[in-house]
Amino acid sequence: MRKFKFHFLGLVHLPCSPRYNACAYTQKNIKLAKMLSSLGHEVVYYGAEGSDVACSRFVQTHTLRDLRQDYGPLVAQVFPKAEHHECIFHALQNVERLTKEVYGDDYAESHPEAEALKRSIYKIFEGKSKRTAQKRYVEVLALREEYARGTPSAVVIFDFLERHWPKLVNGIESDLVPTTNNTVELVIRRFDQHYQNFCGFESIQTAQLFLGVFEKMYRLTPFSDDAQPRLRGKCPLQLAGYDIRSVPMASICAGWSPDWPILPAPGTDSLVPSQ
């Protein structure tokens, strides 16, 4: 069989590794590279540090530290009025990763103090109020010198928590800021389902037009009856607390033929979140 050389491009925001099994793109890269390598083909993989792919040659394109420094300013530039929040779930995953890097994979048995530190950090985000979370956060940071004396490299865990804390705490006790990025991933997944029906766009302008239509349709289209019980029959705007009864587009997205003109519902002066 004729042998070929394949060049794989990884994702920018995370390593291509079996550890990130929630990312479909990452898993496609891993499985395809493994399959091609097993057939004797040459695979050159380009990606972030920490990538673990069956390949002939790995070319590291960047470190994750580079991304962590750049994300904040870029988000503020693209969304100047938005409050930047980071996913607590992924932050705790990073705490787990850093703990393993410092103390080893078997830290729970070999370094019980590391397990205690990790549990203390997890407990911060189990608090129901910002006040409780802030109190626990201060208590954890006070342990920095004690842990650094025993294991100097342990400071990276504290540094990580301190650097990301402002963008994590704003999701606690908030009705507006989510604690995870599940909603964002759901939107991206739904957009990807629509995008796959296209063979690319003719220009950036046509892509922007499509995205604009998708954005409005997605926000106003009710979830189907086979969705989670709390989502069924409601659109994302309704789930966020908005009264959309006076929005004609909402009726169209729900599959109804609206009567024109549509008047605001009784007692509804404007579209504001319903408390």
Residue 193 lies in a domain: no
* Tokens matching residue 89: 């779930």
How many independent structural domains does the chain possess? 3
Q: What is the mean pLDDT of residues 242-248?
A: 77
Domain boundary among 169, 190, 205: 169
Is the domain of 165 the same as that of 100?
Answer: yes
**194 assigned to some structural domain:** no
The pTM for the full model equals 0.58
Q: Per the domain annotation, does 196 fall within a domain? A: no
pLDDT tens track for 74-118: 777 877 887 788 889 889 998 998 999 899 989 989 999 999 999
In this prediction, residue 274 carries a pLDDT of 45
Q: What is the pLDDT of residue 142?
A: 95
Same domain, 57 and 100: no
pLDDT for res 275: 42
Indicate whether 49 and 92 sit together in one domain: no
- Environment class of 158 (CB within 10 Å of its CB; exposed 0-12, middle 13-18, buried 19+): buried
pLDDT of 35 above 90: yes
Instruction: Answer yes or no: do 108 and 54 share one domain.
Output: no
Q: Is residue 16 part of a domain?
A: yes
Percent of the chain with pLDDT over 90: 33
Instruction: Return the SS3 of 92.
Output: helix
pLDDT, tens digit (0-9, with 9 covering 90-100), for 159-176: 999 989 998 998 888 877
DSSP state of 232: B
Distance CA 144, CA 156 (A): 10
Structural domain harbouring 104: 83-169
